Structures are given as C-alpha cells and as structure tokens.
Amino acid sequence: MTRTVLERCVDFAIGMLTFAGAHAIEVAMWRPWFGGEHDPWFLNAGSAAGFTLGCVFVASGVASMRSGSARPGRGVTLALGAFAAMAVVLFLKEGGPGTIFPIVLAVGGVFLLISSTLGAWIGREVRGAVKGR
C-alpha cells in the first residue's frame, strides 16, 4: 500500500469518526447544549450544525497540519468519510430518513466538504508557515 493510499484511508476514517463522535455528543447533550427540539441530528439545530462542522473543520485542519502530503484535495477524502458516516446515521437514526432526505444528504455533504477543505487548506498553510520559519 502506497503512502498516499494509506493517507487517504486514514483521512477517510478520521472523517467518519469525527462525524460519528460529534453526533454521539449531540445525542448526549441534545437538550442542554442544542435546545432539545426535534430529534438529535446536526442539521436540526443551527448550533448542532456549527458544532459538527467545527469538529470536521478542526479535525481536517489538525490532520493536514500534523503530517502527510500537501496535496490540495486532502480535505475531500476526510469529507467523504464524514459524508459516509452522515448517510449511515441518517438512515439508522430513530424515525429513519425524512421525506426530503436526498436534499439533506446533498446539502449536508456540501457543508461537510466546505468545512473539511477549508480546514485542510488552513492546516496546510499553517504547516507551511511553521516549516518556513
């Protein structure tokens, strides 16, 4: 397995685990932190959306900053992992997917992609700045 493939697998796993972890925290703290209205799901409350996307952003930034290549599409792999976790959670959560689930998947995916690529880009820039010092 080449280094790039391994790196992509790790990024994908980080994306999955980050989303799953963020969702687990949202389920746990849904009432005190996120208002408790509707089912626990990151797009059901603005604060939950911010929390999940923040987690993905930070995870992507840290992953990009810490190690590996400086390829521009790095955040995409992590976003794909987060998207996979999002899809699984959406279909398995209590009540099942709603009536507009394809739109939820598409919009959620775009948000995750933006958050992840932005995090990866900033992480890469920070890493470059630190190295160049």
Partner 1 sequence: MKTWVAVVAVFLGAGAWAGHRSSIVVKAEQRERPVQIVPAGQKQVGSPGEKGATYYALEAQTTRLTTRFHDGHAAVTERGLVGNVRTTLRDSSGNERATMRLNRIDGGHDMVNYEPNDGAPFQAFSDPNLVKPTLDWATRQAYGLAKDGSDHLVWDAGTMRRRGAGRRDVESEIDSVETVWANGLVATLTRQTYSRRAVIPGRFVEGPALVSELTVHGAPAGTAVWFEKDQVFAYSLPVLMTGVVVIGPEHLKAKYGGWPFTPDTTWLNLQLIAAHHFKTLLAKQGTVARACEPPRPSRLAQFFLPTLNANEVGCDDFHWLDGSIVRACCDDHDRCYEKGGCDSSTWWQWWRSWTCDRCNIAVVGCFFARGSTDDRCLRRLGCAG
Nearer to partner 1 (CB atom), residue 96 or residue 132: 96
Least distance CB 59 / partner 1 (angstroms)? 9
Least distance CB 100 / partner 1 (angstroms)? 6
Question: How many whole angstroms separate alpha carbon 8 and alpha carbon 124?
Answer: 16
Query: DSSP string spanning the chain?
Result: --HHHHHHHHHHHHHHHHHHHHHHHHHHTHHHHH---SSS-GGGSHHHHHHHHHHHHHHHHHHHHHSS---TTHHHHHHHHHHHHHHHHHHHSTT-S-TTHHHHHHHHHHHHHHHHHHHHHHHHHHHHHHHH-
Question: How many whole angstroms separate alpha carbon 129 and alpha carbon 44?
Answer: 38
Interface contacts to partner 1, rule CB under 8 A? 10, 14, 17, 20-21, 23-25, 27-31, 37-39, 41, 43-46, 48-49, 63, 90-92, 95-104, 107
Nearer to partner 1 (CB atom), residue 29 or residue 132: 29
Least distance CB 11 / partner 1 (angstroms)? 11
Least distance CB 35 / partner 1 (angstroms)? 10
Least distance CB 118 / partner 1 (angstroms)? 20
Nearer to partner 1 (CB atom), residue 14 or residue 79: 14
Nearer to partner 1 (CB atom), residue 37 or residue 132: 37
Nearer to partner 1 (CB atom), residue 25 or residue 84: 25
